[in-house]
Amino acid sequence: MAKIRVGVNGFGTIGKRVAAAVTLQDDMELVGVTKTRPSFEAQSAIARGYGLYVPAENVQAFADAGIKVSGTIDDLIKSVDIMVDCTPGNVGEEYKAKYQAAGVKAIFQGGEDHALTGISFNSTANYSESWGAQLSRVVSCNTTGLLRTLNPLDKKFKINNAFVTIVRRAADPGDSKNGPINGLEPSVKLPTHHGPDVQSIMPWLNINTMAVKASTTLMHLHTVVVQLGCETTTEEVLEVFKNAPRVRLVSSKDGIKTTAQVMELARELGRDRSDMYEIIVWKDGVKVVGNTLYYYQAVHQESDVIPENIDCIRSMCKLEQDGAASQAKTNRSMGIPQ
C-alpha cells in the first residue's frame, strides 16, 4: 500500500516534533515542512533532510541566505494527502480554505477553536470520530493530559464531576519573549477554557478548571479532584492509571519530586529532544477518600500531543481502523512503553 504523503505547516515547537515522528512511521512519508523566514530552524530542517517550503514572497530571502528550498507553501499543499497545521493559534483559519481548495485533509492544533473543524481528536477517548474526516483538531497539551487520565477513570467508575487547577508553564524553553519570569499569574477569567475543551471530546463530563501561570518552562502541573460515581480504593485507581495508554506512574520515593526530575528522566531515556510523551502521575500522590479521588499529574507541553497527531493521521486517512492498534504502532515507533 502506498504511503500517506504528509506535509507539516509551521516548523516550530510542535511542527518540528510532528515532522520527526512522521519520519518514524512505515505507513507515512514526510514530503516537507514550511518555514516563513530563513533561520537556524530552516537550516535544521534542511540538515535533517526535510523538503523545505516557504511563502512565495520570501523565496528570494531564502536564496539570499543560501538556503535551498523545494518550493512554495502552495506547492507543498498540492503535493500531499494531508497537512498537519502547526502554525500559531488562530492562523489556521487562513490555511483551512487553501487546504479545502486543494482537496487535501488537514489536522489543526489546540490553539484553534473546535468550531474550525467540528471534530476534535484524542487517541484514547475518540479515535474513531475522525475516521475518514477531511478536517480534525488535536486538542491542546493540557486537554490531552486531562483526557488521558479522566477518560479511563470515567469508563471504570463514571465521574460525577472533576475540578482541576492547572499550574501552567509561562513559556516554552526556547521562548525568551513570554513570561512572567518572576511571579504567579492567575487566569482571572473563570472558569478557564480548559474544561470546555475537554468537553469538545467528552461532552457529558462535568468539569471545571482554574489556571495559574508560573515562572517555569519545563512542564504544566495539574492538581485534580474527582467525585467518582462509586466508592473505590487508591489501589483500584492506581490499577486504572497503570493500564491507561500513555500514562506513566512515577514516585517521589524514587527521587522524582518535581518536573525538573521528570525532564531529567526523559533525558535518561534518550528520547528525541528529551521529550516525555506520557502524562506523569505521582503514584504516591494518588489518594481516594470515599468516592473522592485526588491526584497530581504533569504534562510535557512540547510533546504529549505528538503521538496523538500520528494517530489522528491514521484515523483520518483510514490507515488503521482500530485505535488501540494505531496507538501501539505509534508507541513502538517512538519508544513509548505499551
Active site residues: 141
Q: Cβ 48 to ligand NAD, closest distance in Å? A: 15
- Closest by alpha carbon to 223, among 149, 297, 143? 297
Q: Cβ 62 to ligand NAD, closest distance in Å? A: 13
Among residues 5, 6, 15, 222, the one that binds ligand NAD under rule CB under 6 A: 15
Q: Residue 87 interacts with ligand NAD (CB under 6 A)?
A: yes
Q: Residue 172 interacts with ligand NAD (CB under 6 A)?
A: yes
Q: Cβ 102 to ligand NAD, closest distance in Å? A: 15
How many residues of this chain interact with ligand NAD, rule: CB under 6 A? 24
Which residue, 8 or 256, is less far from ligand NAD as judged by CB? 8
Using the contact rule CB under 6 A, the part of the chain among 12-20, 124-132, 229-237, 263-271 near ligand NAD is 12-20
334 dihedral zone (left: phi>0; alpha: psi -120 to 50; beta) = alpha
Which residue, 90 or 292, is less far from ligand NAD as judged by CB? 90
Window 21-40: residues binding ligand NAD (CB under 6 A): 34, 36
Q: Residue 14 interacts with ligand NAD (CB under 6 A)?
A: yes
The CA distances from residue 106 to 1, 133, 225, 313, in Å, are 21, 9, 35, 9
Separation between Cα atoms, residue 311 and residue 124, nearest integer Å: 10
Q: Cβ 182 to ligand NAD, closest distance in Å? A: 21
Q: Residue 10 interacts with ligand NAD (CB under 6 A)?
A: yes
What residue is closest to ligand NAD based on CB? 12
Window 88-147: residues binding ligand NAD (CB under 6 A): 88-89, 91, 109-112, 140-141
Q: Cβ 50 to ligand NAD, closest distance in Å? A: 13
The CA distances from residue 240 to 150, 244, 283, in Å, are 10, 6, 12
Q: Residue 305 interacts with ligand NAD (CB under 6 A)?
A: yes
Q: Residue 302 interacts with ligand NAD (CB under 6 A)?
A: yes
Other beta carbons within 10 angstroms of residue 229's beta carbon come to 13
Q: Residue 308 interacts with ligand NAD (CB under 6 A)?
A: no
Q: How many helices (H) and strands (E) does the chain have?
A: 12, 16
> Which H/E stretch holds residue 74?
helix 73-78
Q: Residue 72 interacts with ligand NAD (CB under 6 A)?
A: no
Q: Residue 9 interacts with ligand NAD (CB under 6 A)?
A: yes
Q: Cβ 92 to ligand NAD, closest distance in Å? A: 7
- Closest by alpha carbon to 36, among 27, 45, 28? 45
Separation between Cα atoms, residue 123 and residue 120, nearest integer Å: 10
> Which H/E stretch holds residue 204?
none
Separation between Cα atoms, residue 97 and residue 33, nearest integer Å: 19
Sheet holding 4-9, edge to edge: 71-72, 52-54, 28-34, 4-9, 82-85, 105-108, 135-138, 120-121
> Measured in Å, how far apart are the chain's first and last C-alpha atoms?
26
Contacting positions for ligand NAD (CB under 6 A): 9-15, 34, 36, 86-89, 91, 109-112, 140-141, 172, 301-302, 305
